[in-house]
Structure 1
Amino acid sequence: MAFSELLQYVGNFGRFQIIMSIMIVSAITFITTCNLVENFTAAIPAHRCYVHLLDNVTSDIKLTMNLTAEALLRISIPMGANQKQDQCRRFRQTQWQLLNSSNLTINNTELETEPCLDGWIYDQSVFTSTIVTQWDLVCDSQSLKPLSQFLFIVGYIIGSPTGGYFADKFSAVFFLYGLLLDLQNLGSNMFLSLALLGAVDYPTKFLSFFVMRFLKRRPSVAFTLFTAGCSTLVNVFVPKDIPFLRLGSAIFGKGLIAIFFSMSTNYFHELVPTGVRSTVQGLITLCNGLAAALTSLILITRQYFEYLPMILCGIFPIVASFSVYSLPETLNLPLPDTMDDMKRR
């Protein structure tokens, strides 16, 4: 007897399944927060080099000359990109001549600078303390920040084969997870960004129900992947001083990915035979964890080329969208029960 025929006798989606679904959703709501917490615990606040004239409260020069904080920073910190104060270097010698308004046109690149030998001063208006401020994971050490995210995912990867084994034995429920690792670079309020990126899941999950009911699997899955990748690449060309446009593009892409996750889960169960479904799901979870770990390492490449992580994260789903057409179409077909059923498709 086929599995689909067996369901006619034991019953389809009923009260028990509804209760179980609500319990699973409630658990996922709290469990997956650990995937997002490093957006806040490892946030990089605005920072600058420690300046003796400004940050040393016992400085006699500061008291006698009565200079403003802006003036002291002007003569101590060079200007970096976008005419903003450099976050990783300071003048080797105090440049008193910059106090003269007629000398503001002096090229800072001609003045001798040095790294932040005495540490950094961090903006505490949003985050009073993070692992970045505690361990000074900025400038030359900024590449160490994604390491904590990478180690977290590695732990998840190690547990995936074991999880797949026990899922096969005890019918444990797998769930899809997502990692939002780079909210700060959307160029807007990261708390608002996280709220909007989470809120977009509700309408898109509802929309995915109708997409799966009436549209073919292959073009639907391929379209969401391709368009989500394009929305990521678009942000490469959007200036950082237009944060609402960058956030809008990210929300659009996140919505498409949410639809993709819903469809791909359903598509997976229609493709893989019942007997090996749990084992294959364990392997897919392993691959998901590996991709998430690599994503955290890809963020390190930003120090070499600012837009490289965004380009890579946009290209991968576009390439994957074309590979979807190598899979068979499963709309309105019964679930496969054996490997032979899958091969006949």
Structure 2
Amino acid sequence: MAFQELLNQVGGLGRFQILQIAFALSLYGLISSHIIMENFTAAIPSHRCWVPILDNDTVSDNDSRILSQDDLLKISIPLDSNLRLDKCRRFAQPQWHLLHLNGTFSSVTEPNTEPCVDGWVYDRSNFLSTTVTEWNLVCESQILNSVTKFSFMIGLFIGGIICGHLPDRWLSESARWLIVTNKPEKGLKELKKVARINGMKDSGDTLTMEVVRTSMKKELEAAKTKHSPRELFHTPILRKRICLLSFMRHLFTLSIFGLAIHLQHLTANVILLQFLISAASILVSIVGHLVLNHMGRRITQLVIMPLRGIFILSAAFIPQEMQILRTVMATLAGAISPLCLSVGRLHTNELLPTTLRATGMGVIGMFGNTGLFLSPLFMMLAPYSAILPWIFYGGFSILTGFSVLFLPETKNKPLPDSIHDITNDWKESRQAKKEDPIIKVTMF
């Protein structure tokens, strides 16, 4: 805990840390807003086939002038299996005899229907224009909507690789990382900078290289050993953590972005749903982090990630007629997502040694972010079953939650500075497990 004492001396959580957090949040906000916009720029409004008797202003059919729009729809558009107007087919000729029938029936499979050869009519009450209405990405072309999202996510993935280092020009380097990587002079300079910004200049002036070397003697001794990124996989314990954390990040990225860019499939009013999610996520995050400090990292993830998956599955299986309940489930799933993401990243940070933390996070992020461009592809299964993509998105979240059982708890434990710290922690844990039965036996 030597570094923690140095950090307390320069102000602990002060103005410097708050400014760093605010700047990082602004960067995340820019990325998140572009992802959320997919629900609006690529929204799929209600639609039906264009038919001359309804949509051609120059039509001169005398019978059509005295009929209501509902009657014209009845004779022009067949019903689907849910007894709703079919979105992708129309009658080849007006079915006048349907006006004299009291009951309704589906005519999707009748030979007198045809595809929407003249285009579609879209409901523009919510969105005047989207990529779907602009390029008619519906019916047979519906799969191309997922392709456009796939292209967008590929751009995010590549951009993260190419430009991911740019924020480091403005974000201050970690003093702890500098010290344990045998750069104590630079670490001292950063600590003095933190003290000055936090209004603790006098305390910063008392910090000298001798103080740093005395306080972190053990860490500096360990820093003399050169560390290679290959050590992430050469050490069995660390290799297991990296592989498991990469697997978990991949699954959860698939789930969280699968939900984030497909909200319009869960509700008729995506604007209201997005507003509810944004408002609820603030409250959930505040309460969740209080619970996190009490329950620890493992139990918190074990509860909230499967719970999020259950909310997703519930929203998908609830009939569309129950829009209020469906919206509530979707809101809860979306609101708990940021909390799941932040807890997972916090746990990951605390499981990796400081000397290899940046490299480890990069490797985990690289494998995890492959879920970015894969997440839209699962929606290609929707034409076969509307619920099938959501089974994957919800199931991945549940599986991620249970995977945390294979990781150790890090609550109230010091951050590991080297691979040696992780190895010792594992040995002490194994030793404690061996000694517990002996203690229990001697008590009786």
Q: TM-score, normalised by structure 1?
A: 0.90
Amino acid at match of 2:130: T
Q: Which residue of 1 aligns with 2:34?
A: 34
Gaps of 5+ in 1: none
Deviation at 1:130, TM superposition (A): 0.9
Q: Which residue of 2 aligns with 1:285?
A: 365
User: Is the Cα–Cα contact under 8 Å of residues 77 and 91 in structure 2 kept in the other structure?
Assistant: yes
Report the aligned-residue RMSD. 2.6
CA distance in 2, matches of 1:72, 1:9: 78
- Compared with structure 1, are the counterparts of its residues 272 and 76 closer, same or farther at alpha carbon in structure 2 (3 Å cutoff)? same
- Compared with structure 1, are the counterparts of its residues 33 and 62 closer, same or farther at alpha carbon in structure 2 (3 Å cutoff)? farther
Correspondence 1:67 to 2:97: no
Counterpart of 1:82 in 2: which secondary structure? coil
Amino acid at match of 1:71: D
CA distance in 1, matches of 2:10, 2:320: 56
CA distance in 2, matches of 1:27, 1:62: 61
Q: Which moved more, 1:84-93 or 1:74-83?
A: 74-83
Q: Which moved more, 1:49-58 or 1:235-244?
A: 235-244
Counterpart of 1:60 in 2: which secondary structure? coil
Deviation at 1:255, TM superposition (A): 3.3
- Compared with structure 1, are the counterparts of its residues 266 and 85 closer, same or farther at alpha carbon in structure 2 (3 Å cutoff)? same
Q: Which residue of 2 aligns with 1:189?
A: 269
Work out which of the two has the higher radius of gyration on C-alpha atoms and give 1 or 2: 2
Amino acid at match of 1:16: F
CA distance in 1, matches of 2:105, 2:160: 58
CA distance in 2, matches of 1:29, 1:231: 25
The share of aligned pairs that are identical, in percent, is 38
Q: Which moved more, 1:163-172 or 1:105-114?
A: 163-172
CA distance in 1, matches of 2:141, 2:172: 41
> Which aligned pairs between 1:109-188 and structure 2 lie closer than 5 A?
109-163=109-163, 179=257, 180-188=260-268
Match of 2:348 among 268, 273, 296: 268
Amino acid at match of 1:99: L
Counterpart of 2:87 in 1: which secondary structure? coil
CA distance in 2, matches of 1:251, 1:209: 19
Deviation at 1:28, TM superposition (A): 3.5
User: Is the Cα–Cα contact under 8 Å of residues 164 and 281 in structure 1 kept in the other structure?
Assistant: no
Amino acid at match of 1:276: L
User: Is the Cα–Cα contact under 8 Å of residues 188 and 247 in structure 1 kept in the other structure?
Assistant: no
CA distance in 1, matches of 2:44, 2:365: 30
User: Is the Cα–Cα contact under 8 Å of residues 165 and 279 in structure 1 kept in the other structure?
Assistant: no
Match of 1:310 among 364, 369, 390: 390
CA distance in 2, matches of 1:12, 1:140: 59
Counterpart of 2:82 in 1: which secondary structure? helix
Q: Which moved more, 1:286-295 or 1:90-99?
A: 286-295
User: Is the Cα–Cα contact under 8 Å of residues 224 and 260 in structure 1 kept in the other structure?
Assistant: yes
Q: Which residue of 2 aligns with 1:249?
A: 329
Gaps of 5+ in 2: 174-251, 426-444
Deviation at 1:6, TM superposition (A): 4.2
- Compared with structure 1, are the counterparts of its residues 279 and 162 closer, same or farther at alpha carbon in structure 2 (3 Å cutoff)? farther
- Compared with structure 1, are the counterparts of its residues 145 and 250 closer, same or farther at alpha carbon in structure 2 (3 Å cutoff)? same
- Compared with structure 1, are the counterparts of its residues 53 and 168 closer, same or farther at alpha carbon in structure 2 (3 Å cutoff)? closer
- Compared with structure 1, are the counterparts of its residues 96 and 227 closer, same or farther at alpha carbon in structure 2 (3 Å cutoff)? same
User: Is the Cα–Cα contact under 8 Å of residues 83 and 105 in structure 2 kept in the other structure?
Assistant: no
Deviation at 1:337, TM superposition (A): 0.8
Q: TM-score, normalised by structure 2?
A: 0.71
CA distance in 1, matches of 2:97, 2:157: 57
> Which aligned pairs between 1:22-101 and structure 2 lie closer than 5 A?
22-62=22-62, 66-101=66-101
CA distance in 2, matches of 1:153, 1:169: 25
- Compared with structure 1, are the counterparts of its residues 334 and 105 closer, same or farther at alpha carbon in structure 2 (3 Å cutoff)? closer
